[in-house]
Amino acid sequence: MAAPMEVAVCTDSAAQLWSCVVWELHSGANLLTYRGGQAGPRGLALLNGEYLLAAQLGKNYISAWELQRKDQLQQKIMCPGPVTCLTTSPNGLYVLAGIAESIYLWEVSTGNLLVILSRHYQDVSCLQFTGDSSHFLSGGKDCLVLAWSLCSVLQVDPSRTPAPRHVWSRHTLPITDLHCGFGGPLARVATSSLDQTVKLWEVSSGELLLSVLFDVGIMAVTMDLAEHHLFCGGSDGSIFQVDLCTWPGQREKSFQPEQDNGKVFRGHRNQVTCLSVSTDGSVLLSGSHDETVRLWDIQSKQCIRTVTLKGPVTNASIMLAPVSMLSSDFRPGLPLPHFNKHLLGAEHGDEPHRGGFTLRLGLHQQAWWEPRSPLGRGASEAPAPQLRAPGGRPSLTGTLCVAGLGAQPPGAGGAAARGDEQHDGEERPRRPGPAADPRGRAGGRGAQPAQGQPRPLRLLHAHHHAAGQVSALRPARGPPRGLVSSSCWAAGLSVASRCYSFLTKELKTLLFGPLCQGRPGPRSPGLGQDLPRRNRWVHL
């Protein structure tokens, strides 16, 4: 079996002939070119081995190409502002973009903007995921490097501001580049800065492992796969090699070019902007503002190939060519959705609804719950809440929302804020919440928040989120889209069985007994009647 082909993917800021060029690493043969804009620095990413994304230099959109339909721009992902950096998760589920001082996180399967992180004080300059997609790192012009846990970001309480796992503030000038090694949460991260230092960090502990001082500002940094060597691109065109395995043990050291002359790559005439190492660790790729991309033999420090571009190089990286890049008849398994510019439920033009919830099952199935009446103690005479799927049909997903979160919708406004709640033209009294304690918290575990306070949202189970069974749970506004099929019903029952421990005996009988037995319960008329056969739309 032939070894996978390694390719070099490069962009420049002129883009006179093309936006991006792909050439075979060892032969130098030109394989593909993509047209349609100018990719900015740190703004090129491969999505799920099917799409190429490029953040346009100084513009507020991201270009997306199918890897084989290279001459036709497939989609423009509109953003709230110019994109300063871009990356995708290795599992292909998320897209991260730096826009000014904020970080935007999209879910690829739905195009929903899940969260906006604003913990940097100046523009975000670089972003990268860990190899297992569990964490991501951000560096900015504010001299800070932040390490984020993806799980905590997605499951954060809406009333709280997401906090990074680590804040690394040992640099004194803007961050220019960062590189994350292998190991997931145990990985090591190298960061470079205009303060002429490169620092090595540990994600798990947040500890600073090493700091190397140079004579020039460092614009790019990378490591080989074995993490034996650290390569640092200087603002004068030099590339420095730091050996990590022979390090004597001190945490701080100055790199002396005259003493370590055999550890310097010389050939670029302007600052080095990007670095990448081949899989076997024998070849180094570098891009520079001198409009050239160079290929170096690491052992001899000799330049073995020079490719001249039409402008300053903004991106240059080595990657294993995906099957879709080499096969002319390959097409993506799923089309890219429309990416939202606003957080889920805050899009302009959406029709307001009285507090509802969406629960996404798997990657592409979702349903919607609209509360119709209060449910809880003292509400035995009230009809059950309407559990509706798109198209007005009742939905099992709504039952799961009630079971996992309680019956009252969070953030109810209008009549609910005045102490009553309106349903279908009639007003019913609303049960007041418990009094707050002197510290402002509602009393008792599981107690309802005091009147006027927002109600936090909770995911059903963290492992469901990790498994992709429950991917998000957020307030929903606007008309629901799509239909709920029998496959969604089956997925809902799977999630329901795992969340069974949330329920009291009474709720188990009320909510899931009628569904499993196929007959309506005492307070949920119509649920479970006439279950459809396979591959028919569910009308619960």
pLDDT tens readout for residues 149-159: 999 999 877 77
Position 313 confidence tier, pLDDT thresholds 50, 70, 90: very high
Extract the tokens encoding 119.
């913990």
Q: What interhelical angle do 396-405 and 486-498 show, nearest 10?
A: 20
Q: Which helix (H) or strand (E) holds 396?
A: helix 396-405
Q: Is 490 helix (H, G, I), strand (E, B) or coil?
A: helix
pLDDT at 499: 53
- Mean pLDDT score across all residues of the chain: 74
Q: What angle (nearest 5°) sits at the alpha carbon of residue 206, between those of residues 203 and 211?
A: 95
pLDDT at 379: 40
CA 313/CA 34 separation, integer angstroms: 16
Question: Average pLDDT of 51-57?
Answer: 92
Question: Average pLDDT of 52-72?
Answer: 86
CA 215/CA 258 separation, integer angstroms: 11
Q: Shortest CA distance to 47 belongs to which of 75, 80, 19, 23? A: 75
Is residue 359 scored above 60 in pLDDT?
no
Share of the chain above pLDDT 70, in %: 62
Question: Average pLDDT of 128-142?
Answer: 96
pLDDT at 3: 64
pLDDT at 45: 95
pLDDT at 329: 76
CA 181/CA 56 separation, integer angstroms: 27
Asked if 105 and 153 count as a contact pair (C-beta separation under 8 A), the reply is yes
CA 192/CA 222 separation, integer angstroms: 9
Position 101 confidence tier, pLDDT thresholds 50, 70, 90: very high
